[in-house]
């Protein structure tokens, strides 16, 4: 199809509306900062509607490019791709971002810097939408960095708290370490294929080694962004940000970017890359699930569960189940955002309830409890999302997890065991979370009330998106599944086994946590020593830096000083030559002229007698000359 360029302004409008919102909110004065949430939300709603119109009118795939940087040998194009995969992600990002905006109106109502918050939130959305749409790896990398930057700003929103500032810096530094790998991968691709167009990337037979290196480097970037095994310790700390930000980071924007990139670049990964991905994903999924099992902070449990689910997605990508990974990404976006917004509602209510006593940590699930009666709507939404997380039937998580499990079980044995174990653990920690927060009798009785309507609405929409209520191609499906028009085939045995595993997990959870133990299993270190490893890494880097600095001072500086001394000596020499020889010639000639002038001038002194004397002397000389 020849691209219909009339939709270009339309697509630009979709991604530029949040940017406009960000710009407007940044300009708003403090005095009228209450309009910032309204502006941002309305513009975000417009963006959602435009994205939906774009999606509905999608007829065929298209690429729109325009040359940006023309080099003598090649050119870099910027542009965007329009296809089902991209637009589905675009719609999901827009919708979840809009819901988070809506939720933030209630959640951030009392915040001092609300205009700046909404400005950054809209900017975050803009960056992620740009990342989703771009069809060139270099442009994608730019948006990738913008996503990292705006997440840094949002995690550090309460930057007057040292822990928040530290967490923001940590998130930024660790993802930057990954981005370095991404950049190297992009450069490797550029040098091997000479093109960065995503559509033109494919696995060529000739450059397998180079492609493997490039794929691994890009995967390092994904590891940083999507919180995979060695680089995931920033994500639990990122909980220092406001809860809606966590929802956005975990659902649609930050961590989704890594998995989304893997899906976009799927054709270029070599078998070795896929194996590495599967391994890393498996480790991450297992560690994340174990971490979620021992945490007591409600937001950190969700963070670790995100890590685990991301590991599952990466594992699916590595097992060549891109469809399963992608659907799980989208479903996860809905139910994880729902969980975070539910948690945000709970925290908001708890904070409202105890604004005198600040020594109680309301994020600790041991201090919560019994909220089923006081917050019924939030409970119901939370329950649906948690069921989707655990993968119970009739939820979105069930479908995508079945697809992944089918594919992984078919591929390799060790990893499939991990996938099943993770599925089992997920059921346990989902149960534990719901049980602690809503069922068990609380340690402290908090006079909580249900969250404001505007916050509830967002949570309800997200939990509704997590149910598989649509009938499509003879099977139960979710909205995103229909949008992707994916078809799947899950064997009956797998589905049965999966349901049994989940039910077994829930039962285990009930047996383990029925008596609500307040002690954690101390043999699981929640950070898995990754902070320690990072610290050691930094120490090694510092030691290396001091060695190189010593080398600099001791040798390079010395050589430089020697050169400088040589130069000074040379300068002295030339100065001597200048003053003595060059100036000497000039001064000498002028002195000669002056002396001659002096001689003549003193001779011609205007005294008549001296003239006479000279005349006489001349006469005498003349006479002597003639005589002899």
**Pick from 130, 141, 143: nearest CA to 190:** 141
CB atoms inside a 10 Å sphere around CB 328: 25
Whole-number Å distance between alpha carbons of 371 and 437: 7
Nearer to another protein, 449 or 615 (CB): 615
Least Å from the CB of residue 614 to another protein: 10
Nearer to another protein, 579 or 605 (CB): 605
Whole-number Å distance between alpha carbons of 157 and 164: 8
- C-alpha dihedral over 256, 262, 266, 270, to 10 degrees? -160
Least Å from the CB of residue 598 to another protein: 12
Give the DSSP H or E segment for 82.
strand 75-82
Least Å from the CB of residue 608 to another protein: 5
Whole-number Å distance between alpha carbons of 155 and 81: 30
Nearer to another protein, 521 or 598 (CB): 598
Alpha helix locations (H) across 252-318? 254-264, 271-294, 298-318
Nearer to another protein, 492 or 600 (CB): 600
Nearer to another protein, 72 or 606 (CB): 606
Whole-number Å distance between alpha carbons of 146 and 128: 8
Least Å from the CB of residue 610 to another protein: 8
Least Å from the CB of residue 587 to another protein: 23
Whole-number Å distance between alpha carbons of 278 and 172: 25
Whole-number Å distance between alpha carbons of 437 and 362: 11
Question: What are 297's strand-pairing partners?
Answer: 364
Least Å from the CB of residue 606 to another protein: 4
Least Å from the CB of residue 627 to another protein: 16
**Pick from 328, 304, 302: nearest CA to 315:** 328
Nearer to another protein, 56 or 627 (CB): 627
**Pick from 126, 122, 54, 59: nearest CA to 91:** 54
Nearer to another protein, 66 or 602 (CB): 602
Least Å from the CB of residue 624 to another protein: 16
Nearer to another protein, 355 or 601 (CB): 601
Whole-number Å distance between alpha carbons of 96 and 85: 17
Backbone φ, ψ for residue 80 (5° rounding): -140, 155
Least Å from the CB of residue 575 to another protein: 37
Whole-number Å distance between alpha carbons of 595 and 591: 6
Question: What are 63's strand-pairing partners?
Answer: 81
- C-alpha dihedral over 392, 397, 399, 405, to 10 degrees? -90
Whole-number Å distance between alpha carbons of 495 and 400: 11
HSE toward the beta carbon, residue 197, CA cutoff 13 A = 17
Least Å from the CB of residue 603 to another protein: 13
Place of tokens 């559509």: 199
Least Å from the CB of residue 625 to another protein: 20
Nearer to another protein, 563 or 604 (CB): 604
Backbone φ, ψ for residue 448 (5° rounding): -80, 150
Q: Which two tokens stand for residue 63?
A: 């690429």
Distances (CA, A) of 422 to 287, 296, 339: 9, 19, 19
Nearer to another protein, 414 or 612 (CB): 612
Nearer to another protein, 535 or 605 (CB): 605
Least Å from the CB of residue 599 to another protein: 16
Parallel, antiparallel or unpaired: strands 75-82 and 470-472: unpaired
Q: Which two tokens stand for residue 421?
A: 């174990």
Nearer to another protein, 563 or 613 (CB): 613
Whole-number Å distance between alpha carbons of 365 and 373: 16
The residue ranges that bind another protein (CB under 8 A) are 605-609, 612-613, 616
**Start-to-end CA span in the chain (Å):** 122
Nearer to another protein, 520 or 605 (CB): 605
């Amino acid at each position: 199809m020849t691209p219909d360029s009339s939709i270009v302004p339309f697509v630009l409008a979709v991604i530029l509306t949040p940017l406009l919102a960000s710009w407007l909110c940044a300009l708003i004065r403090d005095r009228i900062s209450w309009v910032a949430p309204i502006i941002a939300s309305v513009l975000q709603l417009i963006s959602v509607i435009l994205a939906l119109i774009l999606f509905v009118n999608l007829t065929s795939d298209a690429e729109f490019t325009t040359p940006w940087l023309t080099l003598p040998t090649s050119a870099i194009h910027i542009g965007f791709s329009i296809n089902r995969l991209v637009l589905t992600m675009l719609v999901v990002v827009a919708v979840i971002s809009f819901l988070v905006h809506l939720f933030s109106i209630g959640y951030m109502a009392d915040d001092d810097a609300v205009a700046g918050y909404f400005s950054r939130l809209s900017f975050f959305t803009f960056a992620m939408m740009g990342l989703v749409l771009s069809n060139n790896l270099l442009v994608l990398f730019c948006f990738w960095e913008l996503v990292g930057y705006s997440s840094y700003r949002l995690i550090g929103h309460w930057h007057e708290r040292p822990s928040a500032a530290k967490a923001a810096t940590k998130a930024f530094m660790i993802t930057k370490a990954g981005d370095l790998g991404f950049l190297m991968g992009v450069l490797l691709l550029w040098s091997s294929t000479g093109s960065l167009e995503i559509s033109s990337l494919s696995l060529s037979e000739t450059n397998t080694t180079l492609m493997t290196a490039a794929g691994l480097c890009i995967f390092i970037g994904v590891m940083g962004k999507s919180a995979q095994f060695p680089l995931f310790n920033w994500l639990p700390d990122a909980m220092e940000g406001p809860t809606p930000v966590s929802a956005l980071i975990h659902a649609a924007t930050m961590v989704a970017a890594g998995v989304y990139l893997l899906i976009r670049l799927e054709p270029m990964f070599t078998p070795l890359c896929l194996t590495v991905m599967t391994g890393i994903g498996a480790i991450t999924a297992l560690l994340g699930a174990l971490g979620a099992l021992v945490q007591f902070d409600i937001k950190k449990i969700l963070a670790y569960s995100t890590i685990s689910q991301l590991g599952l997605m990466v594992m699916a990508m590595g097992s060549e189940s891109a469809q399963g990974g992608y659907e799980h990404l989208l479903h996860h976006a809905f139910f994880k955002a729902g969980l975070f917004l539910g948690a945000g509602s709970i925290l908001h209510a708890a904070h409202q309830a105890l604004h005198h006593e600040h020594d109680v940590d309301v994020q600790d699930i041991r201090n919560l409890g019994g909220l089923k009666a006081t917050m019924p709507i939030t409970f119901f939404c939370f329950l649906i999302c948690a069921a989707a997380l655990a993968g119970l039937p009739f939820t979105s998580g069930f479908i995508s997890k079945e697809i992944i499990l089918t594919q992984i079980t078919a591929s390799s044995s060790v990893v499939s065991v991990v996938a099943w174990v993770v599925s089992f653990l997920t059921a346990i920690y989902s149960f534990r979370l719901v049980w602690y927060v809503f069922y068990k009798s609380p340690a402290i009785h908090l006079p909580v009330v249900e969250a404001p309507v505007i916050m509830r609405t967002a949570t309800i929409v997200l939990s509704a998106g997590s149910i598989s209520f649509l009938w499509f191609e003879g099977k139960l499906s979710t909205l995103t599944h229909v949008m992707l028009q994916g078809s799947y085939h899950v064997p009956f045995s797998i589905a049965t086994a999966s349901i049994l595993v989940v039910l077994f997990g829930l039962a285990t959870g009930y047996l383990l946590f029925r008596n609500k133990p307040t002690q954690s299993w101390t043999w699981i270190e929640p950070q898995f020593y990754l902070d320690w490893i990072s610290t050691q890494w930094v120490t090694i880097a510092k030691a290396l830096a001091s060695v190189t600095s010593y080398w600099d001072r001791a040798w390079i500086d010395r050589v430089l000083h020697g050169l400088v001394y040589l130069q000074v000596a040379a300068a002295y020499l030339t100065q001597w030559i200048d003053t003595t020889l060059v100036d000497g010639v000039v001064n000498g000639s002028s002195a000669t002229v002056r002396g001659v002038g002096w001689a003549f001038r003193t001779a011609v002194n205007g005294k008549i007698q001296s003239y006479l004397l000279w005349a006489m002397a001349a006469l005498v000389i003349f006479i002597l000359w003639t005589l002899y």
